[in-house]
Structure 1
Amino acid sequence: MEPFIRSEQYNFIKSQTQILINGHATANDKDVIKTLKTVAKERVLSLFSDLSEEQKQLLDPVDTIKDPAQAEVFLLQIKPFVIPFKEVTEKTIKKLFPKAKKLKAPLLENIDLREISYLGWDDVGSGKKFIIAPHHTKLTGLHGTIKPANKKGICAICSRFEEVGMFMSETKGTVQGTFIKKGNYICLDSMKCNQNVTTLDKMTDLIERLK
């Protein structure tokens, strides 16, 4: 069976297992537990529009999870079927960021590509943050300066309360040759942000605002 689960879908499934764990730990009413199980399974299966019988069998046990040990086993079973992020090469970098002449591709050796929905890194040379993310079936690039907010806030990508920075980027203005600066608070730690992403909707919104 080929990988069919995207990284953010895996994170969403993981969040549903945590809801079930919390429910079993705190709820005594059997009807409440039954509802939690039904809703969790429906939410997980509804992530996918056309599941094969084999894929469905892989995901079906989600509603049997009661504790962290069971969740860990289940998540380990489905992780091999998570689609890894597309390989990013120097050629990809040059295509997405043609004006960033000396920009190097980030080191990916220590990154499990199944655990990222987008690639974000800070370039020391330029002092900018670069983001590569999927958009309409292909990769697109964003770049801008980022200044730590020195406090926690809601990230524009993952919608979680994390240590954020102001990501300031330029977009073309309505008059030729002019640019407009736009700022958004995003996670300073892109790996942490990736762990929080359960939908790409906010990333899509960010890309469309800045492109």
Structure 2
Amino acid sequence: MNQPFIRNHQYNDIKKQVGLLQSTCNSVSDRKVVESVRYNAQAKLNEVFPEANEMQKQALGNISLLQTAEEFQRYLRSLEPYLAEFAHVTENQLKKLFPKIKKLKVPDLTAIDYRYVTYLGWIDIATNKLFLVYHLNGKLVGIEGKYTPTNKKGVCFVCNRHEEVALFTAVTKWKPASATPDYYRAIGNYLCVNSEACNKNITDVAVLEKFIQGVLIGP
């Protein structure tokens, strides 16, 4: 029985390495250069799963041996049974995460393929708010913030890709012990307008987790 262990951002990283290797194989004739890219691709794959057990190593295989376009595609398809889904959420769960929002508009949860989700993100245009839900340290957490469109492309702080972005600004829930009653602190960054595209691009969750922790827990 296949035991899922590959998270969405890790699968994206694998696809990135496979794409780079396939592109090199198709466009570079220097054998030494190709072999170097093969070695680096496999080394980076090993870095993504440093604690992989024997079953997982067998499932991941050796991408440095791939040659043809068909082999590259077959390899990626072979990993799909091992994709670990983002835990399914319900509308009630989302409402509990944002209790102060009386008429919370949630996305169509039945239309989501949770295999390809690192975080849930959606926008309520009526209130200019962006909502973000993530599993942090095994717990489902949610943050909300002001959504300010830029109407242009920029680098998203989560996926580090050049996409259409908006400024996402969230008020921190953490307060220092010496804070006055009217203490206010907000942190913001540029985030993909399209969370689905962001989830397809993200290869590392460290920056996302740091941002969420900054909002919920503080520096």
Alignment partner, residue 63 of structure 2: 62
1:101-120 equivalences under 5 Å are: 101-120=102-121
**CA distance, structure 2, for counterparts of residue 69 and residue 108 of structure 1:** 34
Identity value in percent: 36
**Aligned amino acid, residue 166 of structure 1:** L
Alignment partner, residue 82 of structure 2: 81
Most deviating of 102-111 and 152-161: 102-111
Alignment partner, residue 209 of structure 2: 204
Q: CA RMSD in A?
A: 1.8
1:9-158 equivalences under 5 Å are: 9-158=10-159
**Aligned amino acid, residue 44 of structure 1:** L
Most deviating of 26-35 and 150-159: 26-35
State the Cα distance separating 1:99 from its structure 2 match: 1.1
Contact kept in structure 1, 2:85 and 2:116, CA below 8 Å: yes
**CA distance, structure 2, for counterparts of residue 125 and residue 151 of structure 1:** 21
State the Cα distance separating 1:32 from its structure 2 match: 1.8
**CA distance, structure 1, for counterparts of residue 110 and residue 83 of structure 2:** 18
Alignment partner, residue 189 of structure 1: 194
SS in 2 for 1:141: strand
Most deviating of 80-89 and 41-50: 41-50
Contact kept in structure 2, 1:41 and 1:60, CA below 8 Å: no
The TM-score with structure 1 as length reference comes to 0.91
**Aligned amino acid, residue 211 of structure 2:** L
Contact kept in structure 2, 1:142 and 1:207, CA below 8 Å: yes
State the Cα distance separating 1:168 from its structure 2 match: 1.9
State the Cα distance separating 1:125 from its structure 2 match: 4.8
Encode CA deviations 1:49-102: one digit per residue, 9 max, x unaligned: 332322212211322233443222111110111101111113321332121122
The TM-score with structure 2 as length reference comes to 0.88
Most deviating of 1-10 and 171-180: 171-180
**CA distance, structure 1, for counterparts of residue 6 and residue 67 of structure 2:** 23
**CA distance, structure 2, for counterparts of residue 124 and residue 166 of structure 1:** 14
Contact kept in structure 1, 2:154 and 2:163, CA below 8 Å: yes
State the Cα distance separating 1:124 from its structure 2 match: 4.3
For these two proteins, the number of residue pairs brought into alignment is 211
